[in-house]
């Protein structure tokens, strides 16, 4: 029986607080309800989520509900709402229509607010979820701190332009706001681990000491079949749910990120984020079926392209805005009509990786560099390797308003690799808006 939808309410306070990332190692974090990550929001498919936020920071903020197909007015961008100024209260209210692993994060002055901890997980459950013995939500982050455990100033102008070029990647490695987290599991059991990459720029290649694990879900919920791998790239903004285990009683292994060369000036290295300790064996009730669900294809691989989006980087490093969409920065893109299938060719002509994120709608990758992808999935964030091209298909359903897409390396987004566009209801006349001026504060 379907559960009756209910209203799930949370009160959030955004504030500055001290957070212990390791015993005796405290940072001055920014976040929600003095927790890092913020509280886990949880609801069933169809429920209404209400999050009332009081801004007790000294600067304005907004919250974006990454991956949720909500009305445009609740999307948390400055295209759809006024900033929540210090001292103000704002109520977000929306239905959560899809099961999966989602997250929320600041969508104002993100390079600072997200880096300091303004993010958390949003989990939507459904009775079709596979049965597991337990679950862990694991938010990946890193922070760039100085010797006094203070955030270094965000690099924007030379000589810190490297941070602007590569994204802000730190060497304080966190899972759920903790360094060297220890995760306890039982032998013989299988758990669902929901990974969310909430870092500004880090490419995380999940590795569990070489053990095989099964990918069961990504951004827009379950895959069609579990996929067995030993490593898995999770780029900023992406989610990957895995079935972890069964493990052997008494064993210990690391959760690592393998080296990934995203072609920046940073040296790719293999790094340890956490340790898993396998305790006493317990009986299992877990069942991961071979068929998790059916995902109907939205379009054929050769579907006619309706829009081309080119991501590029000006090779010079200077103080200007050199991260581009279609040779421009902070773009106002053309509108799309409700109900008209979108087939977008997104190409990356630069020599570095970019995770492409579309707000408010899931897409299917129907082609990557001329080939059909290995498996079908609902995505909202997808990595584009250097000099690569994807074709994505998505359907603007009846949620008119202003939306956006951007690179989820937060510094690239801020440096111009973003666009807004309207979804318009074709039954109503469309009035073109003057270009919105996107203002970014760089301190
Ligand atoms: Cu998670 Cu506009 O982003
Ligand atoms: Cu980028």
Instruction: Choose among 149, 136, 139, 208: nearest CA to 175.
Output: 139
Which residue stretches of the chain have pLDDT < 70?
1-2, 154-161, 315-321, 433-443
The ligand 1 atom at the shortest distance from the C-alpha of residue 67 is: 1
pLDDT given for residue 320 in this prediction: 56
pLDDT given for residue 430 in this prediction: 77
**pLDDT tens digit string along 261-283?**
887 777 889 999 999 999 999 99
Q: What are the structure tokens assigned to 321, written together?
A: 């805005």
Q: Cα 197–199–204 angle (5° rounding)? A: 55
Ligand 1 neighbour 239 (Cβ under 6 A) = no
The ligand 1 atom at the shortest distance from the C-alpha of residue 404 is: 2
Nearest CA to ligand 1 atom 1: 66
CA distances from 381 to 128, 223, 242, 250 (A): 23, 15, 17, 37
Ligand of minimum distance to the alpha carbon of 313: 2
**pLDDT tens digit string along 379-414?**
999 999 999 999 999 999 999 999 999 999 999 999
3-state class (DSSP) for residue 339? coil
Ligand of minimum distance to the alpha carbon of 219: 1
Ligand 1 neighbour 64 (Cβ under 6 A) = yes
CA of 433 to the centre of ligand 1 (A): 23
Contact 79, 98 (CB under 8 A): no
* Positive or negative torsion for Cα 266, 232, 134, 249: negative
The ligand 1 atom at the shortest distance from the C-alpha of residue 418 is: 2
CA of 369 to the centre of ligand 2 (A): 18
3-state class (DSSP) for residue 72? helix
Nearest CA to ligand 1 atom 3: 66
**pTM of the predicted protein model:** 0.95
pLDDT given for residue 2 in this prediction: 67
Q: What are the structure tokens assigned to 252, written together?
A: 């210990």
Ligand 1 neighbour 406 (Cβ under 6 A) = yes
The Cα–Cα gap between 343 and 361 comes to 13
The ligand 1 atom at the shortest distance from the C-alpha of residue 359 is: 2
Ligand of minimum distance to the alpha carbon of 356: 2
Contact 367, 300 (CB under 8 A): no
Max CA-CA distance within the chain? 66
The Cα–Cα gap between 397 and 61 comes to 28
Instruction: Give residue 80's Cα distance to chain centre.
Output: 20
Instruction: Choose among 94, 103, 100: nearest CA to 47.
Output: 94
Ligand of minimum distance to the alpha carbon of 201: 2
CA of 412 to the centre of ligand 1 (A): 12
3-state class (DSSP) for residue 410? helix
Ligand 1 neighbour 194 (Cβ under 6 A) = no
Q: What are the structure tokens assigned to 48, written together?
A: 């209404």
The ligand 1 atom at the shortest distance from the C-alpha of residue 66 is: 1
């Amino acid at each position: 029986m379907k559960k009756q939808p209910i209203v799930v309410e949370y009160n959030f306070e955004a504030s500055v607080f001290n957070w212990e990332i390791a015993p005796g190692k405290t940072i001055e974090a920014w976040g929600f309800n003095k927790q890092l990550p913020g509280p886990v929001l949880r609801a069933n498919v169809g429920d209404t989520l209400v999050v009332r936020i009081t801004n007790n920071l000294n600067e304005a903020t907004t919250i974006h509900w990454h991956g949720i197909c909500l009305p445009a007015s609740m999307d948390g961008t400055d295209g759809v709402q006024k900033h929540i100024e210090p001292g103000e209260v704002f109520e977000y209210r929306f239905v959560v229509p899809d099961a999966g692993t989602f997250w929320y994060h600041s969508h104002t002055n993100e390079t600072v607010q997200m880096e300091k901890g303004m993010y958390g997980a949003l989990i939507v459950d459904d009775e079709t979820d596979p049965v597991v013995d337990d679950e862990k939500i694991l938010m990946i982050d890193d922070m760039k701190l100085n010797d006094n455990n203070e955030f270094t100033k965000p690099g924007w102008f030379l000589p810190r332009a490297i941070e602007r070029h590569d994204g802000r990647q730190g060497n304080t490695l966190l899972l759920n706001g903790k360094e060297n987290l220890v995760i306890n599991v039982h032998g013989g059991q299988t758990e669902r681990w929901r990974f969310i990459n909430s870092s500004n720029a880090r490419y995380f290649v999940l590795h569990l000491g070489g053990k095989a694990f099964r990918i069961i879900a990504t951004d827009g919920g379950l895959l069609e079949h579990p996929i067995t791998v030993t490593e898995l790239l999770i780029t900023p903004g992406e989610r990957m749910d895995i079935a972890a285990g069964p493990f052997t009683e008494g064993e210990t292994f690391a959760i690592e990120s393998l080296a990934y060369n995203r072609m920046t000036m940073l040296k790719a290295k293999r790094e340890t984020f956490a340790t898993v300790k396998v305790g006493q064996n317990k009986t299992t009730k877990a069942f991961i079926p071979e068929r998790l669900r059916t995902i109907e294809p939205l379009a054929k691989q050769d579907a006619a392209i309706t829009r081309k989006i080119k991501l590029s980087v000006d090779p010079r490093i200077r103080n200007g805005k050199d991260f581009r969409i279609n040779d421009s920065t902070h773009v106002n893109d053309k509108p799309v009509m409700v109900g008209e299938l979108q087939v977008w060719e997104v190409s990356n002509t630069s020599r570095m990786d970019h995770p492409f994120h579309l707000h408010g709608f899931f897409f299917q990758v129907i082609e990557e560099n001329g080939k059909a992808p290995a498996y079908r999935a609902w995505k909202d964030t997808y990595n584009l390797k250097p000099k690569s091209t994807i074709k994505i298909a998505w359907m603007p359903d009846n949620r008119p308003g202003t939306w956006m897409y951007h690179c989820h390396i937060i510094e690239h987004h801020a440096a111009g690799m973003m666009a807004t566009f309207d979804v318009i209801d074709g039954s109503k006349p469309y009035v073109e808006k003057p270009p919105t001026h996107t203002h970014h504060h760089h301190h």
